[in-house]
Amino acid sequence: MKQLKSLRWGLGALVALPLLAACSDSLSNIGESVQPGQDKVTGQITYVQFAASTVASPEVNSSSQEALLGELVDAQYGTVRGEYITQVRTAAGFKIDSLPAGGGIDSVSLRLFYQQRAGNALAPINIEVYEVAKGFTGSSVSVKDLENYRKTAQLLTSKTIVPGRDAIKLKDGTDSAFYINIPLRNASGVYSDLGQRILNLSRSNPEYFLTQESFGKNVLGGLLVTPATGSGYLLEIAQTELILHYHHPARLKPDSIVKAQQPMVSTLLTPRLNGISATDLSALTAPSSDYTYIKGPAGVTTELTLSAADLQRLARKAPAPASGMTARDFFGRVWMLADAPLSLRVDNPAQLTLNPSSFMVLLESDSVRSFFGSATPSVRAGYSYISDRYQVQHPVYNFRNVAQLIMRHLAAHAKYTTDGWTVTEPLKVQIYPVSYNTSQGVTLTLQPNLFPNFVRLSKKPETLRVGFVSSLIQQQ
């Protein structure tokens, strides 16, 4: 009897095999002419068929610093509305840089920095800002609205803005940013005492500022920013800054008065919660034999299923394991699948107002929440996959190698009996739009793409068929 020799992914050359239109399960030995005489690699190719469906969740993964503000109406695929709560960052040992003259804060304002916008720039939006009760902890998963927080919150201001008119450009070297400035004052023009309270507590109770948790429990729970009225425009807020304005004597000229600002900012480390709602999704979630959909940020995505029957058909090409060898020892070490790409074809309707996301991530359906709930989501072979960048001239989302994902599933769920390998658990994966940036192969950011996006994917069988090359090394 031949002894099986362990191998870790030694068939990198067997990649990018063409997908055949026929659903034949024809098998053939591959590559024996180029193998050493004593170590023979036997290879077989098996085609499996993914099934696709559109699934919807009331939750939107929003584990990013970005937030949506406003309401964007899309006549074809429904309305998206965004509001949010954020805490602001306080460093340990926080204190006002220079002692304000008279010990007072002159005014306080909110700056909303944004990086993307959509809709009619002249559409007015009435923005309300509330102070959220102390103890707010945030969540990486959105809710439909923040009404429960508004009931216990204190209104700090209400201001109508026109984004195209009121946006302020801030230039830093060659980079530019835009922000909306919102003074926190009531209808009578009286500024909120929030800034003064923060200053007073920093003097009387400096221990409140030692950690972000202590700050949220004792100083400021958070700020709720919401579009009270108005529609037709949506901002993707990149950062929220609470600015304390004050004045103090100049250091070198005590008779001169200097105006100063003390910013407190939102970061990835500050608790936050997005309120995101989407309407008119029935056309997307209705069963379809032709298409599946991904719409963000609306909780609508595509789920791919590889049936237990197809997985078992794939696994039954494997020989019996050695005595005492577990499935985890066998799959991926002794018997394995070579690299196999999965390409999902985009078939968007004409005159689409929402753009496809530049990148998608593919991961198992039951790991979506934990993946996006991580402080630093990252792709890991066998667990999650990032697509190649989407190109309009080549409308596909290409995931270069899903073989390790299949292998991990077989290692966890395949069992060997006298009848051969059996698999009873299907594999389910979902696709999500993400913002993704790398530099020299290192991931800089990977987070949910909250900016409105849309994709319609073809369900033609040939687009969901993948060929897997299975192999093992036989030692004489």
Strand ranges for 199-269 from DSSP E: 222-229, 233-249, 257-265
Question: What burial letters (b/e) apply to 410-420, b meaning 16+ CB within 10 Å?
Answer: bbebbebeeee
Cα separation, 130 vs 44, in Å, equals 63
Tell me, what's the pLDDT at 363?
Answer: 94
pLDDT band of 12, cuts 50, 70, 90: very low
Cα separation, 387 vs 400, in Å, equals 7
Residue that wins the pLDDT comparison between 427 and 32: 427
Tell me, what's the pLDDT at 20?
Answer: 34
Q: Is the pLDDT of residue 43 over 60?
A: yes
Cα separation, 1 vs 470, in Å, equals 21
Q: Which of 275, 342, 323 is nearest to 48 (CA)?
A: 342
Residue that wins the pLDDT comparison between 63 and 128: 128
**Residue 210: CA atoms inside 13 Å, Cβ hemisphere, count?**
4
Neighbouring-strand partners of residue 355: none
Report the amino acid identity of residue 450: L
Determine the distance from the C-alpha atom of residue 374 to the mean position of all C-alpha atoms in its chain, rounded to a whole number.
Answer: 10
Tell me, what's the pLDDT at 256?
Answer: 79
Residue with tokens 């800054």, as numbered in its chain: 241
Cα separation, 57 vs 197, in Å, equals 41
Tell me, what's the pLDDT at 33?
Answer: 34
pLDDT tens digits for range 314-337: 999 899 999 889 999 999 888 988
* Most confident of the ranges 59-63, 92-96, 102-106, 434-438: 434-438
Cα separation, 343 vs 404, in Å, equals 16
* Most confident of the ranges 36-45, 110-119, 280-289: 110-119
Tell me, what's the pLDDT at 250?
Answer: 78
pLDDT tens digits for range 392-448: 899 999 998 899 999 999 999 999 998 899 999 999 999 999 998 887 777 778 889
H or E segment to which residue 330 belongs:
helix 327-330
Tell me, what's the pLDDT at 97?
Answer: 67
**Positive or negative, the Cα torsion across 292, 295, 301, 304?**
positive
pLDDT band of 15, cuts 50, 70, 90: very low
CA dist 165 → 56, 178, 180 (Å): 37, 12, 10
DSSP string for residues in 173-231: TTEEEEEEEEE-B-TTSPBPSHHHHHHHHHHH-GGGGSSHHHHHHHT--EEEEEEEE--
Q: Give percent above pLDDT 90 in the chain.
A: 53
CA dist 464 → 20, 121, 467 (Å): 11, 41, 10
Structure token digits, residue 309: 């029957």
Structure token digits, residue 94: 């926080």
How confident is the prediction for the chain on average, in pLDDT?
84
Q: Give percent above pLDDT 70 in the chain.
A: 88
pTM: 0.81
Residue that wins the pLDDT comparison between 216 and 94: 216
Tell me, what's the pLDDT at 174?
Answer: 65
Average pLDDT, stretch 73-100? 82
DSSP string for residues in 263-327: EEE--TTS-EEEEEEE---HHHHS--SSEEEEEETTTEEEEEEE-HHHHHHHHTTS-PPPTT--H
Q: Is the pLDDT of residue 132 over 90?
A: yes
Cα separation, 471 vs 41, in Å, equals 6
Tell me, what's the pLDDT at 93?
Answer: 78
Tell me, what's the pLDDT at 387?
Answer: 96
Tell me, what's the pLDDT at 473?
Answer: 58
